Amino acid sequence: MANPRFLVIRMGSMGDIVHTLPAVAALRSAFPQAQVDWLVERKWAPLLEGNSEISAVIPIERRDLGSVARTIKRLRSAEYSTAIDFQGLYKSAALALASGASRRIGFAGDFAREAAAALMYNSPVTPVGKHVVEQNLSLAEMAGAQKGKIRFPLPRDTEAEFRMARQLEAGQLEDYFVLSPGGGWGSKCWPTERYGELHECLYERLGWRGIISYGPGEESLCLEVCRAAGESKPLPVPMNLVELMAMLRRARFVVAADTGPLHLAAALGTPVVALYGPTDPARNGPYPPDGNTVVRNAEPDEITYSRGGEYSRAMLSINVDQVVKAVMGRIGMA
Protein backbone atom coordinates (compact mmCIF):
# COMPACT_ATOMS: atom_id res chain seq x y z
CA MET A 1 0.00 0.00 0.00
CA ALA A 2 1.69 3.20 -1.18
CA ASN A 3 1.16 6.19 1.09
CA PRO A 4 -2.18 5.12 2.58
CA ARG A 5 -4.44 7.57 4.37
CA PHE A 6 -5.52 6.39 7.82
CA LEU A 7 -8.24 7.78 10.04
CA VAL A 8 -7.85 6.77 13.69
CA ILE A 9 -10.99 7.06 15.83
CA ARG A 10 -10.59 7.12 19.61
CA MET A 11 -12.48 10.13 20.90
CA GLY A 12 -12.03 9.62 24.66
CA SER A 13 -11.31 9.28 27.47
CA MET A 14 -7.81 10.07 28.80
CA GLY A 15 -6.79 6.54 29.76
CA ASP A 16 -8.32 5.03 26.62
CA ILE A 17 -6.44 7.49 24.42
CA VAL A 18 -3.19 6.67 26.22
CA HIS A 19 -3.81 2.95 25.66
CA THR A 20 -4.31 3.58 21.93
CA LEU A 21 -0.99 5.39 21.46
CA PRO A 22 1.12 2.21 20.96
CA ALA A 23 -1.15 1.00 18.16
CA VAL A 24 -0.85 4.32 16.34
CA ALA A 25 2.92 4.34 16.90
CA ALA A 26 3.09 0.85 15.35
CA LEU A 27 1.04 2.08 12.40
CA ARG A 28 3.45 4.97 11.89
CA SER A 29 6.47 2.64 12.06
CA ALA A 30 4.96 0.47 9.33
CA PHE A 31 3.92 3.40 7.13
CA PRO A 32 6.33 6.29 7.73
CA GLN A 33 4.99 8.32 4.79
CA ALA A 34 1.29 7.71 5.44
CA GLN A 35 -1.31 10.26 6.45
CA VAL A 36 -2.37 9.27 9.98
CA ASP A 37 -5.12 11.55 11.34
CA TRP A 38 -6.75 11.11 14.77
CA LEU A 39 -10.37 12.00 15.49
CA VAL A 40 -10.72 12.95 19.17
CA GLU A 41 -13.01 14.94 21.44
CA ARG A 42 -11.81 18.51 21.63
CA LYS A 43 -11.18 18.42 25.40
CA TRP A 44 -8.67 15.56 24.96
CA ALA A 45 -6.90 17.01 21.91
CA PRO A 46 -3.97 18.45 23.97
CA LEU A 47 -2.89 14.87 24.70
CA LEU A 48 -2.15 14.47 21.00
CA GLU A 49 -1.13 17.91 19.75
CA GLY A 50 2.58 18.02 18.96
CA ASN A 51 2.76 14.23 18.60
CA SER A 52 5.13 13.54 15.71
CA GLU A 53 3.47 10.15 15.02
CA ILE A 54 0.23 11.87 14.01
CA SER A 55 -0.26 13.88 10.83
CA ALA A 56 -3.29 15.84 12.07
CA VAL A 57 -5.49 15.98 15.16
CA ILE A 58 -9.16 16.39 14.26
CA PRO A 59 -11.18 17.69 17.22
CA ILE A 60 -14.90 17.07 17.47
CA GLU A 61 -17.64 18.24 19.82
CA ARG A 62 -19.88 15.17 19.91
CA ARG A 63 -22.84 16.97 21.47
CA ASP A 64 -22.79 19.78 18.91
CA LEU A 65 -24.58 18.65 15.75
CA GLY A 66 -23.01 21.46 13.77
CA SER A 67 -19.55 20.33 14.83
CA VAL A 68 -20.38 16.74 13.91
CA ALA A 69 -21.64 17.77 10.47
CA ARG A 70 -18.55 19.91 9.79
CA THR A 71 -16.28 17.12 10.96
CA ILE A 72 -17.94 14.54 8.70
CA LYS A 73 -17.53 16.90 5.76
CA ARG A 74 -13.83 17.25 6.60
CA LEU A 75 -13.42 13.49 6.92
CA ARG A 76 -15.04 12.80 3.56
CA SER A 77 -12.89 15.39 1.81
CA ALA A 78 -9.73 13.70 3.15
CA GLU A 79 -10.48 10.52 1.14
CA TYR A 80 -9.15 8.08 3.72
CA SER A 81 -8.29 4.63 2.50
CA THR A 82 -8.76 3.06 5.96
CA ALA A 83 -10.65 4.06 9.10
CA ILE A 84 -9.70 2.26 12.33
CA ASP A 85 -12.25 2.48 15.13
CA PHE A 86 -10.55 1.78 18.47
CA GLN A 87 -13.63 2.86 20.44
CA GLY A 88 -16.05 0.13 19.47
CA LEU A 89 -19.22 2.16 20.00
CA TYR A 90 -22.11 2.66 17.61
CA LYS A 91 -21.34 6.41 17.42
CA SER A 92 -17.65 5.84 16.60
CA ALA A 93 -18.42 3.14 14.04
CA ALA A 94 -20.96 5.47 12.42
CA LEU A 95 -18.26 8.12 12.03
CA ALA A 96 -15.96 5.54 10.45
CA LEU A 97 -18.74 4.71 7.98
CA ALA A 98 -19.54 8.38 7.37
CA SER A 99 -15.88 9.12 6.60
CA GLY A 100 -16.25 7.28 3.29
CA ALA A 101 -13.16 5.14 3.93
CA SER A 102 -13.28 2.04 1.73
CA ARG A 103 -11.86 -0.14 4.51
CA ARG A 104 -13.22 0.06 8.06
CA ILE A 105 -11.43 -1.86 10.80
CA GLY A 106 -12.88 -2.41 14.27
CA PHE A 107 -13.47 -5.01 16.95
CA ALA A 108 -15.66 -7.99 16.19
CA GLY A 109 -19.06 -8.00 17.89
CA ASP A 110 -18.03 -10.03 20.92
CA PHE A 111 -15.24 -7.54 21.67
CA ALA A 112 -16.74 -4.19 20.68
CA ARG A 113 -18.20 -2.20 23.57
CA GLU A 114 -21.46 -2.11 21.62
CA ALA A 115 -21.87 -5.24 19.51
CA ALA A 116 -23.92 -3.46 16.84
CA ALA A 117 -20.90 -1.31 16.01
CA ALA A 118 -19.26 -4.30 14.32
CA LEU A 119 -21.99 -4.31 11.65
CA MET A 120 -20.43 -1.14 10.19
CA TYR A 121 -16.93 -2.60 9.75
CA ASN A 122 -15.87 -4.59 6.70
CA SER A 123 -12.71 -5.79 8.46
CA PRO A 124 -13.80 -6.90 11.96
CA VAL A 125 -11.01 -8.16 14.23
CA THR A 126 -10.98 -10.74 17.00
CA PRO A 127 -8.17 -9.27 19.11
CA VAL A 128 -5.24 -11.15 20.61
CA GLY A 129 -4.18 -10.43 24.19
CA LYS A 130 -6.06 -9.51 27.34
CA HIS A 131 -4.86 -5.96 27.98
CA VAL A 132 -6.51 -3.23 25.93
CA VAL A 133 -3.08 -2.06 24.70
CA GLU A 134 -2.55 -5.49 23.12
CA GLN A 135 -6.10 -5.60 21.77
CA ASN A 136 -5.65 -2.19 20.15
CA LEU A 137 -2.43 -3.42 18.56
CA SER A 138 -4.49 -6.19 16.91
CA LEU A 139 -6.42 -3.54 14.99
CA ALA A 140 -3.20 -1.86 13.86
CA GLU A 141 -1.85 -5.23 12.72
CA MET A 142 -4.97 -5.77 10.62
CA ALA A 143 -4.10 -2.47 8.92
CA GLY A 144 -0.57 -3.69 8.17
CA ALA A 145 1.47 -2.80 11.27
CA GLN A 146 4.00 -5.23 12.68
CA LYS A 147 4.64 -6.36 16.24
CA GLY A 148 7.52 -4.47 17.81
CA LYS A 149 8.57 -2.46 20.81
CA ILE A 150 5.57 -0.84 22.48
CA ARG A 151 5.90 2.93 22.53
CA PHE A 152 3.81 5.68 24.12
CA PRO A 153 4.67 8.84 22.17
CA LEU A 154 3.52 11.81 24.22
CA PRO A 155 4.27 15.47 23.48
CA ARG A 156 6.32 17.78 25.70
CA ASP A 157 5.36 21.38 26.31
CA THR A 158 8.29 23.47 27.55
CA GLU A 159 6.05 26.34 28.61
CA ALA A 160 3.90 24.00 30.72
CA GLU A 161 7.03 22.50 32.26
CA PHE A 162 8.23 25.99 33.16
CA ARG A 163 4.88 26.87 34.76
CA MET A 164 4.90 23.69 36.83
CA ALA A 165 8.51 24.30 37.88
CA ARG A 166 7.42 27.70 39.18
CA GLN A 167 4.56 26.07 41.10
CA LEU A 168 7.00 23.64 42.71
CA GLU A 169 9.38 26.43 43.59
CA ALA A 170 6.58 28.49 45.14
CA GLY A 171 5.45 25.46 47.15
CA GLN A 172 9.04 24.68 48.19
CA LEU A 173 8.85 21.20 46.72
CA GLU A 174 11.86 19.46 45.23
CA ASP A 175 11.06 15.78 45.71
CA TYR A 176 7.33 15.17 45.53
CA PHE A 177 4.72 12.56 44.73
CA VAL A 178 1.28 12.92 43.18
CA LEU A 179 -2.06 11.74 44.55
CA SER A 180 -4.97 11.81 42.10
CA PRO A 181 -8.30 11.27 43.91
CA GLY A 182 -10.63 11.96 41.00
CA GLY A 183 -12.17 9.61 38.47
CA GLY A 184 -15.00 9.25 36.03
CA TRP A 185 -16.85 6.61 38.05
CA GLY A 186 -17.33 6.87 41.80
CA SER A 187 -17.20 3.08 42.02
CA LYS A 188 -13.55 3.12 40.85
CA CYS A 189 -12.47 5.82 43.31
CA TRP A 190 -10.86 5.54 46.74
CA PRO A 191 -12.19 7.71 49.63
CA THR A 192 -10.70 11.18 49.91
CA GLU A 193 -10.11 10.84 53.65
CA ARG A 194 -7.89 7.82 52.98
CA TYR A 195 -5.87 9.79 50.45
CA GLY A 196 -5.40 12.41 53.16
CA GLU A 197 -4.32 9.81 55.71
CA LEU A 198 -2.01 8.27 53.11
CA HIS A 199 -0.38 11.65 52.57
CA GLU A 200 0.24 12.03 56.30
CA CYS A 201 1.84 8.58 56.50
CA LEU A 202 4.05 9.11 53.46
CA TYR A 203 5.13 12.51 54.69
CA GLU A 204 6.18 10.99 58.01
CA ARG A 205 8.04 8.12 56.31
CA LEU A 206 9.68 9.98 53.43
CA GLY A 207 9.72 13.65 54.36
CA TRP A 208 8.19 14.50 50.98
CA ARG A 209 5.00 16.46 50.45
CA GLY A 210 2.60 15.43 47.77
CA ILE A 211 0.72 17.26 45.06
CA ILE A 212 -3.02 16.72 44.77
CA SER A 213 -3.89 16.82 41.09
CA TYR A 214 -7.41 17.69 40.09
CA GLY A 215 -9.32 18.78 37.05
CA PRO A 216 -12.51 20.75 36.37
CA GLY A 217 -15.30 19.80 38.77
CA GLU A 218 -12.95 18.05 41.21
CA GLU A 219 -12.19 21.00 43.46
CA SER A 220 -14.21 19.61 46.37
CA LEU A 221 -12.33 16.30 46.23
CA CYS A 222 -9.04 18.14 46.46
CA LEU A 223 -10.19 20.18 49.46
CA GLU A 224 -11.38 17.05 51.24
CA VAL A 225 -7.98 15.37 50.77
CA CYS A 226 -6.15 18.46 52.02
CA ARG A 227 -8.36 18.69 55.10
CA ALA A 228 -7.81 15.01 55.90
CA ALA A 229 -4.04 15.40 55.43
CA GLY A 230 -3.83 17.97 58.24
CA GLU A 231 -0.42 19.38 59.06
CA SER A 232 1.35 17.39 56.35
CA LYS A 233 -0.02 20.05 53.97
CA PRO A 234 -0.17 18.62 50.47
CA LEU A 235 -0.07 21.14 47.65
CA PRO A 236 -3.29 21.37 45.61
CA VAL A 237 -2.52 22.20 41.98
CA PRO A 238 -5.18 22.67 39.28
CA MET A 239 -3.71 21.55 35.97
CA ASN A 240 -4.70 21.38 32.36
CA LEU A 241 -3.62 18.32 30.36
CA VAL A 242 -0.22 19.55 29.25
CA GLU A 243 0.55 20.78 32.77
CA LEU A 244 -0.51 17.42 34.19
CA MET A 245 1.95 15.67 31.86
CA ALA A 246 4.72 18.04 32.95
CA MET A 247 4.01 17.44 36.64
CA LEU A 248 3.72 13.66 36.29
CA ARG A 249 7.04 13.42 34.43
CA ARG A 250 8.92 14.85 37.42
CA ALA A 251 7.07 13.03 40.22
CA ARG A 252 8.84 10.39 42.32
CA PHE A 253 5.69 8.26 42.13
CA VAL A 254 1.93 8.49 41.61
CA VAL A 255 -0.93 6.90 43.56
CA ALA A 256 -4.30 6.75 41.83
CA ALA A 257 -7.20 4.48 41.02
CA ASP A 258 -8.02 3.21 37.51
CA THR A 259 -8.23 6.68 36.00
CA GLY A 260 -6.61 8.75 33.26
CA PRO A 261 -3.80 10.29 35.33
CA LEU A 262 -2.69 6.82 36.46
CA HIS A 263 -2.37 5.57 32.88
CA LEU A 264 -0.74 8.78 31.72
CA ALA A 265 1.87 8.52 34.50
CA ALA A 266 2.63 4.88 33.62
CA ALA A 267 2.99 5.78 29.93
CA LEU A 268 5.43 8.56 30.87
CA GLY A 269 7.55 6.06 32.81
CA THR A 270 6.74 7.44 36.26
CA PRO A 271 6.42 4.75 38.98
CA VAL A 272 2.78 4.14 39.89
CA VAL A 273 0.83 2.44 42.64
CA ALA A 274 -2.59 1.61 41.23
CA LEU A 275 -5.70 1.02 43.35
CA TYR A 276 -8.18 -1.36 41.71
CA GLY A 277 -11.68 -2.52 42.59
CA PRO A 278 -14.46 -3.18 40.04
CA THR A 279 -12.15 -3.23 36.98
CA ASP A 280 -9.63 -5.90 36.05
CA PRO A 281 -5.97 -4.76 36.02
CA ALA A 282 -5.11 -7.61 33.65
CA ARG A 283 -7.24 -5.83 31.06
CA ASN A 284 -7.18 -2.20 32.18
CA GLY A 285 -4.16 -1.95 34.45
CA PRO A 286 -1.15 0.36 34.14
CA TYR A 287 0.99 -0.53 31.13
CA PRO A 288 3.57 -1.93 31.04
CA PRO A 289 2.46 -4.16 33.94
CA ASP A 290 6.03 -5.15 34.83
CA GLY A 291 7.47 -2.84 37.46
CA ASN A 292 4.22 -1.14 38.38
CA THR A 293 2.29 -2.08 41.52
CA VAL A 294 -1.43 -2.85 41.76
CA VAL A 295 -3.26 -2.94 45.11
CA ARG A 296 -6.54 -4.82 45.03
CA ASN A 297 -8.67 -7.03 47.26
CA ALA A 298 -11.58 -7.59 44.89
CA GLU A 299 -13.27 -10.96 44.73
CA PRO A 300 -14.05 -12.35 41.26
CA ASP A 301 -17.74 -11.44 41.56
CA GLU A 302 -16.78 -7.81 42.31
CA ILE A 303 -15.16 -7.31 38.88
CA THR A 304 -18.33 -5.82 37.46
CA TYR A 305 -17.24 -2.69 35.54
CA SER A 306 -20.31 -1.12 37.11
CA ARG A 307 -20.29 2.66 36.63
CA GLY A 308 -21.72 3.45 40.04
CA GLY A 309 -21.58 6.84 41.68
CA GLU A 310 -20.64 5.55 45.15
CA TYR A 311 -17.46 3.94 46.43
CA SER A 312 -17.54 0.23 45.68
CA ARG A 313 -17.07 -2.45 48.33
CA ALA A 314 -13.90 -3.58 46.56
CA MET A 315 -12.35 -0.10 46.76
CA LEU A 316 -13.42 0.37 50.38
CA SER A 317 -11.64 -2.87 51.26
CA ILE A 318 -8.26 -1.27 50.44
CA ASN A 319 -6.75 0.22 53.59
CA VAL A 320 -4.10 2.88 54.00
CA ASP A 321 -1.50 0.51 55.44
CA GLN A 322 -1.72 -1.64 52.30
CA VAL A 323 -1.06 1.35 50.10
CA VAL A 324 1.83 2.65 52.23
CA LYS A 325 3.46 -0.78 52.06
CA ALA A 326 2.95 -0.90 48.28
CA VAL A 327 4.48 2.55 47.83
CA MET A 328 7.54 1.74 49.92
CA GLY A 329 8.06 -1.47 47.95
CA ARG A 330 7.61 0.31 44.61
CA ILE A 331 10.30 2.88 45.37
CA GLY A 332 12.66 0.33 46.91
CA MET A 333 12.35 1.48 50.51
CA ALA A 334 10.35 -1.40 52.01
Residue by residue, DSSP assigns 245-271 as HHHHHH-S-EEEESSHHHHHHHHHT--
Domain span at residue 280? 158-330
- Between the CA of residue 146 and those of 3, 30, 266, what are the distances in Å? 17, 7, 23
Last-in-domain residue among 99, 115, 142? 142
What is the arithmetic mean of pLDDT over 215-220?
Answer: 87
pLDDT tens profile 110-142: 999 999 999 999 999 999 999 999 999 999 999
Task: Give the neighbor-by-neighbor strand order of the sheet with 272-276.
Answer: 235-238, 209-214, 176-180, 254-257, 272-276, 293-296
pLDDT tens profile 73-92: 999 999 999 999 999 999 99
pLDDT tens profile 172-192: 899 999 999 998 889 999 999
Shared domain for 200 and 313, answered yes or no, is yes
Select from 321, 266, 264, 316 the least CA-distant residue to 293: 266
What is the arithmetic mean of pLDDT over 215-233?
Answer: 93
Shared domain for 59 and 182, answered yes or no, is no
Residue 72 included in any domain: yes
Q: Where are the alpha helices (DSSP H) in the chain?
A: 14-30, 65-78, 90-98, 132-142, 158-170, 192-206, 219-229, 241-250, 260-268, 281-284, 313-316, 320-330
Residue 3 has pLDDT above 90, yes or no: no
pLDDT tens profile 42-68: 999 999 999 999 999 999 998 899 999
Residue 204 has pLDDT above 70, yes or no: yes
Report the 3 state secondary structure along 179-235: EECCCCCHHHCCCHHHHHHHHHHHHHHHCCEEEEEECCCCHHHHHHHHHHHHHHCCE
pLDDT mean across residues, the chain: 95
Shared domain for 117 and 166, answered yes or no, is no
Last-in-domain residue among 78, 113, 142? 142
pLDDT of residue 290: 83
Shared domain for 59 and 167, answered yes or no, is no
Residue 99 has pLDDT above 90, yes or no: yes
pLDDT of residue 171: 87
Residue 196 included in any domain: yes
Domain of 185, CATH number, reads 3.40.50.2000
Residue 2 has pLDDT above 70, yes or no: no
Shared domain for 125 and 184, answered yes or no, is no
Last-in-domain residue among 142, 176, 194? 142
Shared domain for 172 and 320, answered yes or no, is yes
Select from 264, 215, 221 the least CA-distant residue to 238: 215
Q: What's the rounded Cα separation, in Å, for the pair 198 and 221?
A: 15
Residue 8 has pLDDT above 70, yes or no: yes
Residue 229 has pLDDT above 80, yes or no: yes
What are residue 60's phi and psi, to 5 degrees?
A: -140, 145
Residue 153 included in any domain: no
pTM: 0.95
Share of the chain above pLDDT 70, in %: 99
Residue 1 has pLDDT above 60, yes or no: no
Q: Choose between 221 and 291: higher pLDDT.
A: 221
pLDDT of residue 52: 92
Shared domain for 208 and 72, answered yes or no, is no
pLDDT tens profile 135-169: 999 999 999 999 899 999 999 999 999 999 999 99
**Are 213 and 247 contacting, i.e. CB atoms less than 8 angstroms apart?**
yes
